[in-house]
Every structure is written in C-alpha cells, then in structure tokens.
Structure 1
Amino acid sequence: MLLRIRVRLPDRPGSLGKVARLLGAAGADVVQMAVLERDNGRALDDFTVVWPAGADTGRLRDGLASVPGVETVGIWTTAEPHGAFPDAALIGQLAADPGRGAVTLADAVPALLSADWAGLARTGPERAALVHASVGGLADAELADLEPVRPRAFTAGDGTEYAICPVQDLVLVVARRDAPPFHRSEVFRLAQLVGAAEAVLGVRALGGSSGSGGPPPGGDLVRSS
C-alpha cells in the first residue's frame, strides 16, 4: 500500500538524506517527495512511500523520532494517481468527456490530494448538500458549514479535514480523516485544477442532484455554446 508521510525537518544539507535513509531502513520504498514550504530554517516535506499492507507504522514514527530535529506531522494512507503527470492527465480526461467534467474532477481529486473522498455540493440557506460523491463518500453525508465559499482548508468539529473550491454555482469538497490539515499548497493545487478545467472546457455548472457514483441530472460541467 501507499503511505503519505509529512515531516518537519531542519532546512539544511543532509537532513533530507537522513530522513530518506531512515525510511528505507524501516522498510519503506520512497516513490515521491514534495517540499511544501521552507521558512525560518525549517522545511515541511511530504514523502509518498510503498509500505507492506497491514504492517505497523509505529516503527516509522519511532525511526523518524530518532533523527534530531525531525517532527512527524502525519502518516496516512493514500492512492496512486494515474499517469506520470496526473494533473495534466486529468485535464485530458476532462477535455475528452466534457459532459462529465465536474464528476470526473471530483472522482480524480482524492488520489491527487491524498484524501479519502471528494464531492460536489450545493450550498443552501440551512446547510450544504452533496449532489455527487466519489468512491468513499456518502451522498447523504452531513457536511460542515462551507461558508465562506472560496478556496480554503478547514477542520470540521468531528475532526474531518476539508479543502474546498467553488466551481461556478457548486462547491468542490475534498475530505480526509486521520491526516493533517490540507496545506495551503494543496489548496492552491485544487484551485489551479478547477481553473484549468474551466479554461479548457469553457464551462458552466448546471443544477440537479444525484446519489454517489453518478452525475447530477442534466450534466454538470459542460461545454458552453
């Protein structure tokens, strides 16, 4: 299985190598690394690793704790996006089938952002309601208050971490549990994906509602005339 490991470490030569060697010694095969931020002599990095299914991650935490200056922010399961350049591949999928644009976007985002599920929601006077949910989500799930509707991340009262971004008159909602809050770079990536989708498709969002696994009646993000 794949794990995402988020760590803070000293931003100096050799620190990254120590963490990578430690992960390898613990049995984790590093397949990707991303620097999320660098500030005041510290860095925040995400590692994606292959880890034996069912194996205890305690030794990863213990090993990382043994490296001076390294703090484990979170370890959680993730999925592998499709393609060598998944963001570009997603835009290609949207262009190939514009009638399912929003649904395709929502279904692909969890793997891109190491989330549990994503959905399309419509805000209302009382609460937001999902009109589509990806695998792992529930169309009748109780959503946290999505206001204000703008690209942002927040933690709900039940501990669920959310990232949201408006998609015309809908809201793209991404959620994960037992994981760190969405970093501002992840929110930026989400907003860039939405912006690219709209630019490629020349889109507008249509209304409607549906259960998990299907598009809202009448379509969702479709090519405008």
Structure 2
Amino acid sequence: MLLRVRVTLPDRPGTLGQVARTLGVAGADIVQVVVLERLGGRAVDDFTVVWPGASRVDRLLAGLAAIPGVQVNGMWRAIGAPTSGGQDAELLAQVAANPGDGLATLVDAVPGLLAADWAAAAVVPADWAVRSGSTTAAGDTGGEPAVAYASWRAPTPLRLPEVTPLRARAMPGPTGTHFAAAPFGRAGLVLMVARVDAEGLTAANFHVTEVDRIAQLVRAAAVILGDRLDLITAPPPAAARS
C-alpha cells in the first residue's frame, strides 16, 4: 500500500539521507519526496512510500523517532502519489474544456492532488453559524450548508466544520478528520478537502502550502467558470420552495 509520511527535520546536510535510509531499512520503498517548508533551520518533508501491507508501522515510527531532531507529524494511507504543481495547469485546462462539468472535475481531482480522502463543494448561507468546535450535517434543512457536489469517497451525510467567515485555511473537523477550505468568492460557495485518520494511522493537518495550492486552484476555477457558479449558488425560485 501507499503511505504518506510527513516529518519535520533539521535542515542540515545528512538528515534527509538518514530519514531516507531509515525508511528503506524498515521496508519502505520511497516513490516521492516533497519539501513543504524550509524555515529557521527546520524543514517539513512529505515522503510517499510503498509499504508492505502486512507489516506493522510501529517499527517505521520507532526508527524515525530515533533520529535526533526528527518529528513525525503524520502518517496516512494515500490513494496515489501526490502530484506536483504541473498537474494543476492540466486540471484547469480540463475545467475550461468542459465548463459544464467543471466544478465536478475540480472536486473529483483535488483529493488525488493532495493525498486527501475526499472533497466537496458546498454553499454556505451567509447567516450560518454553529458553536465553536461543533459540526452540522450539510444539506439538512434550516439554512445549513447545501452540498453542490461531492467526490465519490465523501461520507453520507456529509458533516462539515464551521467555515464562516469564509477564507482559505486549514481547520479541525470531527474527531479524526482534518479539513482545508477555500472559498470561490461566489455567494458562499466553498471547496472543502478532507483527510481522515484510518487503519490506526493519524493523518497530518493540511500544511499552509497545501492550503495555498487549493486556494489558487479555486480562484482560477472561479474565473474560468464565472456565471456558471452563480447558477449553482442561486436560491431556488419561490414556487420551488413552497
């Protein structure tokens, strides 16, 4: 199976090699390394590795923890290797080529770009607010968020954290779920992307660089789709509501 391993490590020669050797000795085959951050003598790196499905991850975690200065921020199962920014342009080209399905194309593709589990586009009413730390089922009655489109791995009913005020950010959700949100700038439409703890593994929160990437994709898609998004967010006619 594919695992994503996020580590914080000293940004000095040799440490990255130590992490890579430790992964290899434990039985992991590295297929990709992504540097998320280098700041103040520390770096945050994501490793995507092939891991024997029958093997326990305890020895992998123990080996990484034994390296001086290395901290494991998260380890979770990935559907595929996260793609680089070059695929973002290809995705936006697909959205532009078929704008009628543009929102669905974006929502379906984003989880694969960021090693996430699912994504959804939801319309958040301007007056929607819930208690801090609580969650609400999207699509229920009472002026709560309505799901415009969700990827195939999204749970039903879909439960979202509080996202008002609308701005691009990472946020906690229900226990074991990690969210990132980015607004389209169109009548409360927001893209939610989620990672879920599963199989005894703990996923990492979305890094600021990942949030920025999601926000850039959403802004570009909003420009491409334009008035089509207004049709999605428009309230139903009075006759339909009655």
For the residues of structure 2 that align with 1:3 and 1:189, how far apart are their CA atoms?
21
Structure 1 partner of 2:163: 146
Choose the corresponding residue for 2:219, options 161, 186, 195. 195
- Matching residue of 2:195: 176
Partner of 1:207: 232
Superposition misfits of 4+ residues, deviation over 3 angstroms: 81-85, 198-204
- Aligned equivalent of 1:106: 107
Alignment of 1:19-98 (within 5 A): 19-80=19-80, 85-98=86-99
Aligned AA (1:207): I
Shift of 1:160: 1.8
Contact preservation (8 Å) 1:132, 1:139: no
CA distance in 2, matches of 1:98, 1:54: 43
Amino acid across the alignment from 2:232? G
User: TM-score, normalised to structure 2's length?
Assistant: 0.79
Q: Which moved more, 1:26-35 or 1:98-107?
A: 26-35
Alignment of 1:121-140 (within 5 A): 121-124=122-125, 125=128, 126-140=143-157
Structure 1 residue 55 displacement after superposition:
2.7
Once the two structures are superposed, residues 172-204 of structure 1 have per-residue CA deviations (whole angstroms, 9 ceiling, x without a partner) of 110112212111100000011112323445554
Alpha carbons 2:83, 2:113 under 8 Å: kept: no
Q: Contact 1:129–1:140 at 8 Å: present in 2 too?
A: no
How much identity, in percent, do the aligned residues show? Answer: 51
What are structure 1's unaligned runs of at least 5 residues? 210-216, 218-225
Per-residue CA deviation, residues 53-83 of structure 1 (Å, 9 max, x unaligned), is: 3432112101111211111111101122698
1:27 Cα deviation from its structure 2 partner: 1.5
Displacement of 1:20 in angstroms is: 0.9
Taking the aligned partners of 2:227 and 2:207, their CA distance within structure 1 comes to: 27
Determine if contact 1:82/1:89 at 8 Å carries over to the other structure.
no
- The letter for the 1-side match of 2:169 is R
Q: Secondary structure at the match of 1:195?
A: helix
Quick check: which has more Rg, 1 or 2? 2
Structure 2 stretches lacking a partner, 5+ long = 129-142, 198-202, 237-242
Q: Distance in 2 between matches of 1:17 and 1:83?
A: 22
CA contact (8 A) 2:182 2:190 kept: yes
- How many residue pairs are counted as aligned between the two chains? 210
Query: Which AA in structure 2 matches 1:114?
Result: A
Pair 180,17 (structure 1): closer, same or farther in 2 beyond 3 Å: same
Report deviation, 1:48.
Answer: 1.0
Contact 2:123 2:233 in 1 (8 A): no
User: Residues of 2 paired with 1:81 and 1:75: CA distance?
Assistant: 14
Q: Report if the CA contact (8 A) 1:133-1:139 is conserved.
A: no
Preserved contact between residue 164 and residue 173 of structure 1 (Cα < 8 Å): yes
Measured in 2, the distance between the counterparts of 1:74 and 1:11 equals 19
The structure 1 residue matched to 2:173, chosen from 133, 156, 164, is 156
Q: What is the CA–CA distance in structure 1 between the aligned matches of 2:103 and 2:41, rounded to whole Å?
A: 40
SS in 2 for 1:8: strand
